[in-house]
Amino acid sequence: MHHLKLPLSGLHCMGCARKVEHQLKANLDVEISHLSPSLIELDTDASISEVVKHIESLGYQVGQRQHYTLQGLHCGKCVQKLTDLLSESEQIQDLNVTKTSLSLVTTLPEQTIIDQVESLGYQAFTEDSSSNNNSALPATQTATESTPAAPPSRQQYRADVTTNLLVKGMTCASCVASVEKALLSVSGIKNAQVNLSEQSAAAFSDQQPDQQQLLAAIRCAGYDAEIVDDPAQQQEKQQAHLTATLKYHRRNAIMGLLLGVPIMAWGVFGGSMLIQTQPQQLSWGVVGLLCLGLLCTAGKSFYQSAWQALRHKRATMDTLVALGTGVAWLYSIMVVVAPDWFPIQARHVYFEASAMIIGLISLGHAIESKAKAKTTQSLQALIQLQPQQATLITESDDQSIPVSQIEKGMHLRIKPGDKLPVDGVVIKGESYLDESMLTGEPIPTLKRSGDAVSAGTINHDGSLVIEATGVGSETMLSRIIQMVRRAQSSKPPIAKLADQISAVFVPVVVAIAIMAAFVWFWFGPEPKVSYMLVVATTVLIIACPCALGLATPLSVTVGVGKAAEMGILIRDAEVLQTTSHIDTIVFDKTGTLTEGTPKVQSVDSLHREEHELLSIVYALEQQSEHPLAKAVCEYARSKQISAAQISAFQNLRGRGVTANYNGHTVHIGSQHYMTSLEFSFDQIQPALDKVLAQAWTPLLIAIDQEIEGVIAVADPIKADAAEAIQALNKLGIKTVMLTGDHHAVAQGIAQQLGIQEVIAQVLPDQKAAHIVEYQQAGHQVAMVGDGINDAPALAQADLGIAMGSGSDVAIESAQMTFLNSSPLAILNAISLSKATVRNIRQNLLGAFIYNTLGIPVAAGVLYPWFGFLLSPVIAGAAMALSSITVVTNANRLRLFRKPYQPHNSE
């Protein structure tokens, strides 16, 4: 075995790293000694190209993108010569050589690349060295080479372009696999996700792909597709497609049942289904022609899809339906045309089977389409948040314009009751905004000049003027919609077994049908031919890969959409499964368990009225930039206290502030500052002890060498933090506080909340090491932070949760982002994840049990003991019912309600 040390890029967290680990261990013989989102060290017998191939199949990149400025290449032959040399190394990927620049992704160090270039007599310079080297060149040479040689800026190598498509013609899990394979065959596509329930697909690439190639690849696989990148247009077309599909299947169901029910009733109520006389031959011939017309109209789609699948050397659910109904009709029409070819007992016709199967399966598809339309209601609600028109402020007057025409920097008027069309900053006015559809918090938020606002929020009673800062796909709402759509198309690990079974399901079913037919031919009673036909047709019809294909994506679609309704953004479906297994949650303190902004907790004055003391303190602190000073000023303003007249103000950085007030010297500062001034604490000590016991920060006020009062300032604990921690403890989940604050303060807050373990005075770059310790102890760890300062720990944790702001960094770095600031959202996320995973398991279990029991019963295993043989008609009804059951069960998730409601922290 040889040792490989490979840099990784495109991974956001340890969840991504775990995907790489699972992929390599599932396909190669590897021993991984170190794993992080940026590096993997392993020992393996496989070649590096095999390792790279498996990692890149997940959409990640091995190696680092390197850019060089080249000198000495004068023609195309020079370029080809260097390209051939570098291409020989399997450690070099995505190579691009021109006469003046070199770009590649490699695991090799820069000096090795430079040495290889120089071995051919050329020169290569990195970004850092190229500018220094150019300065030493003659002026003419620098002028000619510097412009084209400027390499592009170095950036993380990851799939940044998402192409959304609507795909028509998919019916089961086999179709999903075919479309995924077709998309991945297109050059530049790093990853692909296909959603059967939404009839959609997403292709991920580093650069804008050739859209015609994507469409051609899907058409070559036997399906139709169109590219739709606008979320609203995509949702509209999906709904239109579902509506059209519903009408189509409803019509086919009516046609099939109108013909099939009377024929079946004839046989049930004693009518002869045998061909024994010429009148019977003629009458059943007419029925056969009517059934042929039905198969050519209502059954046309099944046969077309089956033919397309056969042409592309695959089998789908439509293959089973086409074979079953086709064999039943063909056998029956042969009995009608040439009854003498068959024994008397075998002259039974099965036209009712063909008609009823088409009718019942179409009815099942119609019910399924109606239910599918409900699974995307959460996403539809998000899309409908953005209005279609906006009010633009011009020099002459206000003008109504479409939202699509808004550009950055435009000033827009937001009237009472309006939805905000784009992201922006308030430049005039004041009003409360309802942000509940984005954050899940029902309390309106006050917005003033300078505050950021998001598209889709609703203005209450005031009028605002905003400047557009994010338009189109740049708005928070658009990013949320794209994130939700991508998560809905992803698959959790639990779905892999279903995918593996679906890949071979239809060929295996066909083989079972053939084997069952031969068994009945060799060992069955007379008429053997009839029994052969019934058994083979029933096996083909009852098998349902559709239920397997729908089991996971429908639950994921509803679950992710429900999470978005609750202000919880989920990066991919694997997060749902990870969250349901978390046993340890590590909290950052500031902004997670506390409000994140210091506030005054108490004011104690010894000899003066409280308002007079506050007036003096306000006068000094309003000239300070310290965060605690801002908290005091905000408190004074809330009490409508005006600042006293002071002079000779001094800001003693790191100690406090001082000034003159009516001939008296005023000092405001910490306990340490007052001690350095040798002031007595005797009178203020009881109040000071009370403040310190609460783990609050004291601001002491001294006037003329005597301490007059103390103001306690603290970052207040969120209103529902204690409830969240207590609920987690009851669930058996270990709670840990990981903070850089002083141990006394952290311990005091932990005791108030009931947190089990406290790790204090930790630097940001040390937090990840503590997460590793819990993981090495066998814990599944979630880290809850702000997504910026806690980034290393968030990346290391099995589940990284960004709290509160929903900022760009939070959304891009975390696996899960809470758009509201309540710690109770963690409990809601855990509850929803468990409900979703449980729903997926129910669907998969139901689909597996149905097929495990249904296929043997259809093959006739009960006949020797009970004389029972399943009718193809019943098989068709059971097949439709299995899909309907899966869809209905998935839609139960829409009834999920938040078990914990956030409190108003104001």
Of residues 877 and 805, the one with the higher pLDDT is 877
Q: Is the pLDDT of residue 426 over 90?
A: yes
Q: Which residues are the active-site residues? A: 588
What lies within 8 Å, CB to CB, of 861 at 6+ separation is none
Q: Write out the two tokens for 696.
A: 């609050």
pLDDT tens-digit profile of 730-773? 999 999 998 876 677 778 888 889 999 998 877 666 777 888 88
Q: Which residue, among 383, 453, 385, has the nearest Cα to 423 in the 3D structure?
A: 453
Residue 336 token pair: 């009608």
Please give the domain boundaries of the chain with CATH numbers for all domains. Answer: 1-62 (3.30.70.100), 65-127 (3.30.70.100), 161-227 (3.30.70.100), 230-366 (no CATH), 389-473 (2.70.150.10), 568-594+717-832 (3.40.50.1000), 599-714 (3.40.1110.10)
Q: Where are the beta strands (DSSP E) in 640-696?
A: 647-652, 656-661, 664-669
Angle at 900 between CA 895 and CA 906, to 5 degrees: 130
Taking only the tens place, the pLDDT of each residue in 595-654 is 777 888 889 988 888 888 999 999 988 887 676 788 899 899 888 888 888 888 888 766
Mean pLDDT, the chain, as a whole number?
A: 78
Question: Is the bond preceding residue 527 a cis peptide, omega within 30 degrees?
Answer: yes
Q: Who contacts 846 (Cβ-Cβ below 8 Å, separation ≥6)?
A: 547, 551, 882, 885, 886, 889
Q: Alpha carbon of 461 to those of 440, 712, 860: distances in Å?
A: 20, 36, 71
Residue that the structure tokens 């059967």 belong to: 196
Q: Using one digit for the tens of pLDDT, what is the confidence trace for 521-556?
A: 888 777 777 778 778 777 876 776 666 666 676 777
CA distance 631 to 183: 56
* 608, burial (CB in 10 Å: exposed 0-12, middle 13-18, buried 19+): middle
Q: Which pLDDT score is estimated for 292?
A: 92
Quote the pLDDT of residue 139.
33
Average pLDDT (226-243) is 72
What ranges make up the beta strands (E) of 422-479? 423-429, 431-434, 445-447, 452-453, 458-459, 464-470
Which carries the bigger pLDDT value, residue 811 or residue 306?
Answer: 306
Based on its alpha-carbon atoms, the radius of gyration of the chain, rounded to whole angstroms, reads 35
Cβ count near 682 (within 10 Å): 8
Predicted local confidence at residue 399, as pLDDT: 87
CA distance 741 to 781: 22
pLDDT band at 500 (very low <50, low <70, confident <90, very high): low
Q: Which of 638, 643, 601, 599 is nearest to 618 (CA)?
A: 643
CA max distance for the chain: 127
Give the residue carrying structure tokens 């090491």.
Answer: 769
Q: Does the pLDDT of residue 134 top 50, yes or no?
A: no
The confidence band for 50, taking pLDDT boundaries of 50, 70 and 90, is confident
Task: Give whole-number Cα distances, 784 to 31, 585, 834, in Å.
Answer: 31, 7, 19
Q: Where is pLDDT greater, at 123 or 142?
A: 123
